[in-house]
Amino acid sequence: MRHVIIGAGPAGINAAKTIRGMRPDDEIVVISKDKYVHSRCMLHKYISGERNERTVDFADENFFETERIEWKSEVAVTGIDAAGKKIICDKGDMTYDKLLIATGADSVIPPIGAMRAAPNVFGLRNLDDAQKIRGLAANAKKVVIVGAGLVGMDAAYALLELGKTVSVVEMMTCVMAINMDAYAAGAYQKRFEDAGCSFYLGKKVCGTGTSGDLVTSIELESGESLECDMVIVAVGVRPSVGFLAGSGIEVERSVKVDAHLRTNDPDVYAAGDAAGLSGIWPNAVKQGVTAAKNMCGENVTYDDIYALKNTVNFFGLATLSIGINAPEDGDHVEIREDRRNYKRVIMRNKTVKGILLQGDIRYSGFWQHLVKNEINVSDIKKSVFDITYGDFYGVDARGQYEWRVSA
Ligand SMILES: Cc1cc2nc3c(=O)[nH]c(=O)nc-3n(C[C@H](O)[C@H](O)[C@H](O)COP(=O)(O)OP(=O)(O)OC[C@H]3O[C@@H](n4cnc5c(N)ncnc54)[C@H](O)[C@@H]3O)c2cc1C
């Protein structure tokens, strides 16, 4: 059996590892247009010089040799012929028995002014982007970052570390609005400002000023003009699925998959950002493992869509969010804070729908369990913040800990 995996991110690498564990004699091929395996979460550390090509690699040392996996780096897949079980690549075609699409996502650069064409405007998705940013940063003084989500803040952090003058423009009124509330976000904004960063929140970019083919300023609808030598655009991503046009594999915005992460073709699976179920690392890992098991004949479903978990850490301040971040009408929000910690819980129908912890982020497994399993906590007569593992006791027939809280 020949398993081919397109993509060497967390979904692809963990799928390859899982298949090897289950099928010692099967052929496994991993294809990537990247030269090196790398963690996208570490790209800011590459830009700031804290890591290099080797130390952003998240796979085990000598992974491909040890696991006997054929590694095809710097190979771009340009098409798939699902009926013929053939992959079309820029460096020759190949066949498969089972295929995993784990191609992640691409940065979106909006068509504003010269943004798409200018050689000093970058997305931040691949090591290749980080290498270009680091290269240009050597001579750049002023950098504008468009977008204050996780990726934009990563970029801002890296460039502040390099001593650049950094301005961040964001449409929302706080930074990292998807990951946390305004209070928790404010703690990061303050730390970034203390490091010299300027924020333009609640503002929209409407144009660019240019000199030759370079963008030299970012224009805001408010009338402000931000001078720059380099721009990083971090306004979102799009699943990397363009090469599937005409392949026979169904695509909407992302690859369409069922609960087994199988596409409309029974021998083709998708996992990670390309499958569009979530856009975070731990879920890409789980999806890669799930798809791999199914490629080896198991019958496993992926059911972790609702327990979204994200950790942020800048300037020594950690924040963890699990579940939803924005309360809806009828939800009950509780907050507890002291000098070092901020906690916010969103309750719905006596269950925890979302938890945000800033400062001390221990016990994430406990909170994840509460959110994912929609545990009814109404019988515990104390603040939800004080519930601990001690409030559930006993073991079930299989020897697993079990919640003794009425449903
Ligand atoms: C700057 C940044 C910071 C982030 N920080 C965090 C964080 O702190 N926490 C978190 O949970 N998540 C974070 N993420 C998101 C996380 O990195 C992604 O969710 C995760 O990498 C998705 O994994 P994946 O395996 O689906 O795809 P990717 O990691 O994107 O890998 C895709 C692979 O597919 C290959 N590929 C794509 N198209 C082709 C093609 N046509 N032919 C051949 N190969 C192809 C690529 O070369 C690559 O090897 C961050 C992302 C970025 C960009």
Residue 406 clears pLDDT 50, i.e. is over it: no
In ligand 1, which atom is closest to the CA atom of 279? 19
287 lines ligand 1 (CB under 6 A): no
Q: How far is the CA of 223 from the centre of ligand 1 (A)?
A: 36
| Cα 148 to Cα 120: distance, rounded to the nearest angstrom | 19
> Is residue 99 classed as helix, strand or coil in its secondary structure?
strand
Q: pLDDT per residue over 119-161, tens digit each?
A: 999 999 999 999 999 999 999 999 999 999 999 999 999 999 9
Bridging pattern class, strands 98-101 and 94-95: unpaired
Residue 261 clears pLDDT 60, i.e. is over it: yes
**Atom 50 (ligand 1) nearest CA:** 41
Using pLDDT thresholds of 50, 70 and 90, give the confidence band for residue 14: very high
Residue range 369-375: mean pLDDT, rounded:
85
What domains can be seen in the chain, in order of their start residue? 2-106+238-295 (3.50.50.60), 121-235 (3.50.50.60), 309-391 (3.30.390.30)
Q: How far is the CA of 201 from the centre of ligand 1 (A)?
A: 27
Full strand arrangement of the beta sheet holding 317-323: 309-314, 317-323, 351-358, 342-348, 332-337
- Torsion angles phi and psi, residue 161, rounded to 5: -60, -30
In ligand 1, which atom is closest to the CA atom of 237? 53
Alpha helices in 167-280 (DSSP H): 182-194
pLDDT at 407: 40
Using pLDDT thresholds of 50, 70 and 90, give the confidence band for residue 392: low
Residue range 34-52: mean pLDDT, rounded:
96
| Cα 97 to Cα 92: distance, rounded to the nearest angstrom | 17
To 10 degrees, what angle do helices 127-137 and 150-161 make?
A: 40
| Cα 199 to Cα 203: distance, rounded to the nearest angstrom | 10
The model's pTM is 0.92
Q: Are 197 and 154 in contact (CB under 8 A)?
A: no
71 lines ligand 1 (CB under 6 A): no
* Least confident residue range of 82-86, 96-100, 344-348, 378-382: 378-382
pLDDT at 398: 62
**Angle of CA points 7, 365, 324, to nearest 5°:** 75
pLDDT at 108: 97
Residue range 259-268: mean pLDDT, rounded:
98
pLDDT at 305: 61
Write down the residue that tokens 């998705």 correspond to.
125
* Least confident residue range of 76-80, 125-129, 368-372: 368-372
Mean pLDDT, the chain, rounded, equals 93
